[in-house]
Amino acid sequence: MVFRKLILLLLVVALSENTKAQQITYDKADSMTYAQYMLGNWKDLKATGENALKQGVDFPYLRLRIAYANFVEGNYSAALNQYKQVLKNDSFNETARLYSYWCYEYLNRNDEASYHASKLRDSFFINSGIKPFGLLRVGVESSYKMPDDVLRNPGAYYRFHLSNRLFLKLKLEQAMSLYKQQLTIRSNLNSGNPRLTLNDNQQVEYYGKLSYPINSSLILLGAYHYLNNDFGGTTYQNHIGLGGLTYSMPYYEIQGDVNLSSLAGVNVKQYNAGLTIYPKGNLNLYTVLRVSVQNQAASNQIVFTQVAGSKIAKFLWLEANVTLGKLNNYLDADAVYVYNSIDPSLFKAGSTAFIPLKLKLLLHLNYTYEQKENAYELYTYNQHSITGGLTWKF
- Do both 54 and 103 map to the same domain? yes
- Do both 123 and 150 map to the same domain? no
For residue 189, give the DSSP letter: G
- Do both 31 and 139 map to the same domain? no
Across 319-329, average pLDDT = 97
- Per-residue confidence (pLDDT) for residue 23, from 0 to 100: 83
> Does pLDDT of 38 surpass 90?
yes
- Do both 52 and 157 map to the same domain? no
- Do both 157 and 292 map to the same domain? yes
- Do both 189 and 157 map to the same domain? yes
At which of 112, 128, 144 does a domain end?
128
Q: How far apart are CA 308 and CA 313, in angstroms?
A: 16
Q: What pLDDT digit, counting tens, does each position of 372-383 carry? A: 999 999 999 999
- Do both 51 and 196 map to the same domain? no
| pTM of the entire predicted model | 0.91
> Does pLDDT of 140 surpass 70?
yes
- What are the DSSP calls for 190-250, one per residue? GGSS-EEEEEEEEEEEEEEEEEEESSSSEEEEEEEEEEEEEETTEEEEEEEEEEEEEEEET
- Quote the percentage of the chain above a pLDDT of 70: 94
> Does pLDDT of 204 surpass 50?
yes
- Do both 60 and 92 map to the same domain? yes
- Do both 170 and 190 map to the same domain? yes
Assign residue 91 the CATH number of its domain. 1.25.40.10
The answer to which of 101-110, 117-126, 175-184 has the lowest mean pLDDT is 117-126
- Do both 307 and 189 map to the same domain? yes
Mean pLDDT, the chain, integer = 93
* DSSP H/E element including 314: none
At which of 103, 128, 153 does a domain end?
128
At which of 99, 128, 157 does a domain end?
128
Q: Are 128 and 94 in contact (CB under 8 A)?
A: no
Per the structure, how many domains does the chain have?
2
- The pLDDT-based confidence of 21 (bands split at 50, 70, 90) is very low
- Do both 191 and 316 map to the same domain? yes
* DSSP H/E element including 17: helix 2-19
> Does pLDDT of 280 surpass 80?
yes
Q: What pLDDT digit, counting tens, does each position of 46-81 carry? A: 999 999 999 999 999 999 999 999 999 999 999 999
Q: Which of 264, 243, 263, 247 is nearest to 255 (CA)?
A: 247
Assign residue 364 the CATH number of its domain. 2.40.160.40
- Do both 26 and 140 map to the same domain? no
User: Rounded to the nearest 5 degrees, what angle is found at the Cα of 83, between the Cα atoms of 361 and 11?
Assistant: 105
| Domain span including residue 58 | 2-128
- Per-residue confidence (pLDDT) for residue 218, from 0 to 100: 98
- Quote the percentage of the chain above a pLDDT of 90: 85
Which residue type sits at 309?
G
